[in-house]
Structure 1
Amino acid sequence: MRVITGEYRGRKLETPTGYEIRPTSDKVKESIFNLLMNDTWGQVFCDLFSGTGSLGIEALSRGAKKCYFCDSARESIRLTRRNIEHCGAEERAVILQGDYQRTLDRIHEKVDVFLLDPPYRAGLYEKCLLKIDRLDLLSRNGIIITEHGSRDAMPESAGRLKRIRECRYGKTVVSIYRYPQESVSEEE
């Protein structure tokens, strides 16, 4: 596993030894950032269920202003911390240990891009989307990118959030959520 492009390009990231942590493949990671295009520079990210921190580190490498790395597993937090230090990204990284509810409660600014990759079939996707919406953490033009298995049923909407796109990569699917643009216009 490596950083694909940007400031930390080519840096190898430490990977887990067991099967408890399921890192995003380089192919899917590259596809996610291709979907974002240039919407990384200067943005605030949150890598919820960070695992190794690979997605958030890729965002920082591509110019994200800040990234929150959140996970409940101590081993994931250790891996994430070591990978952030290996890249020299400590100044723009905030590491929060705890379940998604507690860590989301500790974020006190708008996030432009949420990266959600919880354990497949754990039933957390809709709960996470609803919590982010309820706490009003997503910026007006922000997006939530969820990585899930092809057998996971994803909601069309959760609170005010709507699914706007779905891309398949073999057994992995990426769904993108955001606020409908008409409701964003009304808020301006």
Structure 2
Amino acid sequence: MKQPKARPSQLRIIAGEWRSRRFSFTEEPGLRPTPDRVRETLFNWLSMHIEGARCLDLFAGSGALTLEALSRGAAQVLACDMSRDVVTTLRGHLQTLQCERGEVLQKDALNLLTGSPAAPFDLVFLDPPFHQDLLIPACTALETNGWLTPGAFIYTESETAPERLPYPANWRLHREKKAGQVWYSLWQRQAGE
């Protein structure tokens, strides 16, 4: 008996220029798109900081955070993912939206972070696949290799409570929530510490 083809999943842009637009994305192992209600909470937390921000979306996956940030007025978003399908799909969405403020790289996020950026970022989204020990090495590389502006915000999703993880000492927990088994946290980098 033939297996039915997997249907592409859908994401919805919640607010901003492209509010209510829907896009398909391909399901991949370990892909956990940030749910609508969590994205809404996150972008409410960031409402005074998103417009005009330079954003970095490591482990972009469905592209939900990239598209939401651009819709809400981010000046630029650099998205990164290792999957060719993810990158092709997200580039297609940006083309459909005629958005030139987004760039998508097919690259390993940790390898990307070993270099230095052309300019530091105001906001970083970190939602790596769980159980692969990617979060803390990414946080450390962001901090040590010049990827962050002095007061940058860093959004993380983790399977472990934030207080149990060794985040950089100069990051202060701004907000956190838990939904199911996932911790959603927003950190702010403290300059000069």
Q: Is TM more than 0.5 here?
A: yes
**Residue of structure 2 aligned with 1:168, choices 178, 187, 193:** 178
Are residues 1:87 and 2:97 paired? yes
- The match for 1:139 is 149
- The match for 1:34 is 44
Contact 1:157 1:163 (8 Å CA) reproduced? no
5+ residue gaps, structure 1, are none
- The match for 2:3 is none
**Residue of structure 2 aligned with 1:107, choices 110, 117, 120:** 117
Closer/same/farther in 2, CA of residues 152 and 16 from structure 1, 3 Å limit: farther
Contact 2:13 2:19 (8 Å CA) reproduced? yes
Closer/same/farther in 2, CA of residues 16 and 156 from structure 1, 3 Å limit: same
| 1:113 alignment partner, SS class | strand
Aligned length: 182
- Offset of 1:176 from its aligned partner? 2.0
Are residues 1:5 and 2:20 paired? no
- Supply the distance in 1 between the matched residues of 2:82 and 2:187 (Cα, whole angstroms): 23
Of the structure 1 ranges 163-172 and 21-30, higher mean CA displacement relative to structure 2 is found in: 163-172
- The match for 1:23 is 33
Contact 1:129 1:161 (8 Å CA) reproduced? no
- The match for 2:76 is 66
- Offset of 1:103 from its aligned partner? 2.4
Root-mean-square deviation (Å): 2.1
Structure-to-structure mapping, 1:167-186, within 5 angstroms: 167-180=177-190, 184=191, 186=192
The structure with more radius of gyration: 2
Contact 1:125 1:154 (8 Å CA) reproduced? no
Give the letter for the 2:127 counterpart.
D
5+ residue gaps, structure 2, are 1-10
**Greater fraction helix:** 1
Q: Cα deviations across residues 54-74 of structure 1 (Å, max 9, x unaligned)?
A: 101100100000000101111
Return the TM-score normalized by structure 2.
0.84
